[in-house]
Every structure is written in C-alpha cells, then in structure tokens.
Structure 1
Amino acid sequence: MTLPVFFGCAFIAFGPAFALYLFTIATDPLRVIFLIAGKANEGLKSINPEDTAPSMRLLAYVSGLGFGIMSGVFSFVNILSNSLGPGTVGIHGDSPQFFLNSAFMTLVIIMLHVFWGVVFFDGCEKNKWYILLTVLLTHLVVSTQTFLSPHYEVTLVAAYIIMVLMGVWAFYVAGGSCRTLKFCLLCQDKDFLLYNQRSR
C-alpha cells in the first residue's frame, strides 16, 4: 500500500506543476533558464523585444512556478519519503489522511507561488504597494495555517479559497478577460488571435 500512496501523493502535489512546465515552459530554452534561475534580468528583450510588459508577465509566471516547485519539493519531499514506510500513520491517534492532506497543501502552495509571482510583479511594475502588502499577507495567512495541523479541513478549505481568489486576480493582471477565456475554452485560436490584434 505504500507505493500507491507515494505515487498518488506525488502526482497530486506535483502533477499540475509538471503539466504547466511541459505545456508552457519546456518548449522554450530561455523559459527553462528562467525557471531554474528563479530570477533573471538579462534576456527579457529576447522574448519580445518590442514590448516589455508581456516579457515581465512571462518572467513573473515562470519564476513563480520555479519558486513554487522549489517550495513544494523542500516542504514535501521528506513527508513523501516517509510514506514508503516503515510505520503506520494514525496509529497514535493522528489523522490517517496526513499524506493526502500534505499533498493537497503542497499543490496549493505551488499554484499560489505562480499567482503571487504574477500579482507581485504587477504591483512592483505599477508601484502599487497595497498589492505587495496583499501578497505578503496572504502568504503569511497560508503559511501560518500549517500550525493548525490536526484541523486539515479548515486549513485546506481556507487555502483553496485564497488560491482561487489569487488565481482570478493573476488571470486579469496577466491580461485575461471573460472573452479570452471563452476563446480558450472553445479552442477558437483564430478568433483569439484576431481579438488580440484588434485590441492592440
């Protein structure tokens, strides 16, 4: 039973991050460098030499994903290795869902780092300090929830609510709208490209 727990929790925690890497970053070597470096100042103009705003948004997304993966690995790798045994979780009255809850919390932390990165870069670019303060406060709230370790339902629900709100905020900061979301969901690439050209 230990191997299914190990692989199941690993896929829950790192599956979405791996999918984001595979579909949005792995095809471009410069993005891979940004992901590994976390921060990079040189080479922004090589992504889009005529417009710096999309470059900063792309850097925010890629570096946020890089920080999220690093944070997830450091916080979850020891727990994941313990899932291989020996021992039984919950034998002394602890929650038997410890590994599963930790995997879902790691997933939230990784995705939040992506959203925090996009929103934080936007706040820095526009010199809006309340945005930076909001990112720092939500980071503090999610981090301090780990002290409520026996009450996994409360911490996970609160963390997922914050993740959804920050995700919506990051989506609009990155230039998304209801119209572009509709084009994306309906796989209407031609209409999406025409809409982008007209909006410029």
Structure 2
Amino acid sequence: MTLMDFFGCGFLAFGPPLAMFALTIAVEPIRIIILIASAFFWLFSLLVSSIVWYAIVPLRTYLAVGLVYSVIFQEVFRYLLYWILRKAERGLEKVTTAHVADSRHVFAYVCGLGFGLMSGAFALVNVLADAVGPGTMGLRRGNEFFFIISAATTLAFILLHTFWGVIFFSALDHKKWGQVAWVVGSHLFVSAMTLLNGISYQAISLSASYIILLITAALAFTVAGGKIQNIINCFMKK
C-alpha cells in the first residue's frame, strides 16, 4: 500500500511535467541545457534564502516572513536568468537550428519548467520518501490525504512556474509591468495559501492554487500568441 502511495503521488506530481519534457524539450539539446541552467538558478535562489534565514535569527520563528523573501529571491533569480539569456542570444544562434528571436517563448517556457521541476523536487522528495513506509499518515494521526494534497500542490507549482516563466519573459521584453506584477503577486498569493494547510484548510488552499493556475495558463497562452479560436478549430476538426 505504501508503495502504491509513492508511485501514485510521484506520477501525479511529476507525470505531466516529465511528459512535457519528453515531448517538447528532449527533442533539442540546447533546450535541455537551458532547462538544467534554469534549475540551478532556482537552487541559487534557495541558497540565498537559506543564508538569509540562518543569518537573521529572529525571523526563523515567522514562517510567513521567510515565505515572502523566498518568493522575492526566486523572482530576482528569474530576472537574472532572463537577463543572461538575452545577453547570450548571439551565441545561442550558433548552436541551435531555430532562430532565437522566434524561439523566445519556447526558451521562456523551458526556463519556467526548469524552475518548476527543481522547485517540485525539493518540495516533494522528502514527502515521497516518507510515503514508501513503513507506514503512512492517517487513522489517529495526521491527515490521510496529506500525500495526495502534497502531490497535487507540487504539480500546481511546477505548472505555475512554467507559465510564470512565459509571462515574465514576455512582459520584460515588451515592458508590460502589469504582467510582471501578476507573476510576482500570484506567486506570493499561491505560496501564502499553502500556509492554510497547517490549519487543515487544504481544500481552500488547493482550490485557490488551481484557480490561479487556470488564469495564469490562459494568460501565458495569450502572451505566447495563442488564440481561443485556434483551440476551437482544433476541436472542430477532431
């Protein structure tokens, strides 16, 4: 049973992102390199957040404060990744078959997925390790839905980081500060909503996360040049 929990939650959280990786990123080596680089940038943001957390002792007792500056550091490093990627465009032209200027949304998507995968790995690996056994939460201690809620939340954050990457990069290119504010604000909001899990309001937290995910996905689709009519036409052909 514990093994079923492990694989079920693992596939729920990482199945769709890994499918996205296999179908859209693994086909071109430069995308894999950018994905790995973006994952390291997320790690750097975590390192800086950890240093601040250890350095400022009074803040350790306030989880909400740590959450805020952790999100801020993630967005700062997202900007640094954007800046470096734009500076490296000439070099990328020499190692990729696609025209970089036409692939900006693709690279933004790759960077966002790299952020999300690393974020999800750190959020869920320890939980999955506990899910293997020798027992799982439930009955008289803990919540029997702890593992599946953790997996569903992790999936939401991985996809959100992917869409945030597309919106953030495009917004900086076109100086649309409202979209930048949406990325940072929604990141703070969804992260703050996870604090409700500690007081048994998981349904509210998860619902809010997926509502924001749907809105962000629609915005990213529009930013990348997609049109609702194209989706309708696609379904009509089928």
CA 1:169–1:47 in 2, change beyond 3 Å: closer, same or farther? farther
- What displacement does 1:92 show? 4.0
Q: Which residue of 1 aligns with 2:53?
A: none
Deviations 1:174-195 (A, max 9, x none): 010023223544678xxxxxxx
Write the letter of the residue equivalent to 1:55: S
2:6–2:131 contact (8 Å) kept in structure 1? yes
- The answer to whether residue 208 in structure 2 is matched with residue 158 in structure 1 is yes
Q: Which residue of 2 aligns with 1:171?
A: 221
Higher relative CO (Cα under 8 Å, sequence separation at least 6) belongs to 2
TM-score by length of 1: 0.86
Distance 1:31 1:177 in 2: 25
TM-score by length of 2: 0.73
- The answer to whether residue 74 in structure 2 is matched with residue 26 in structure 1 is no
Match of 2:114 among 46, 66, 78: 66
Distance 1:3 1:108 in 2: 23
Q: Which residue of 2 aligns with 1:57?
A: 105
Write the letter of the residue equivalent to 2:37: A
Structure with the higher fraction of residues in helix conformation: 2
CA 1:177–1:3 in 2, change beyond 3 Å: closer, same or farther? same
Q: Which residue of 2 aligns with 1:106?
A: 154
Aligned residue pairs total 186
Q: Which residue of 2 aligns with 1:78?
A: 126
1:47–1:55 contact (8 Å) kept in structure 2? no
Write the letter of the residue equivalent to 1:94: G
Q: Percent same amino acid among aligned pairs?
A: 44
Cα RMSD after superposing both structures: 1.8
Distance 1:55 1:177 in 2: 18
- What displacement does 1:34 show? 1.1
- The answer to whether residue 139 in structure 2 is matched with residue 139 in structure 1 is no
2:3–2:133 contact (8 Å) kept in structure 1? no
Q: Which residue of 2 aligns with 1:196?
A: none
1:115–1:170 contact (8 Å) kept in structure 2? yes
Write the letter of the residue equivalent to 1:181: I
1:122–1:173 contact (8 Å) kept in structure 2? yes
CA 1:5–1:65 in 2, change beyond 3 Å: closer, same or farther? same
Deviations 1:147-187 (A, max 9, x none): 11121110111000000000000001001002322354467
Match of 2:232 among 182, 193, 196: 182
* 37-46 vs 125-134, greater mean Cα deviation: 37-46
2:31–2:110 contact (8 Å) kept in structure 1? yes
* SS of structure 1 residue aligned to 2:156: helix
1:12–1:107 contact (8 Å) kept in structure 2? yes
Deviations 1:60-106 (A, max 9, x none): 00010011000000010000100012233134442110000000000
- The answer to whether residue 60 in structure 2 is matched with residue 10 in structure 1 is no
2:130–2:136 contact (8 Å) kept in structure 1? no
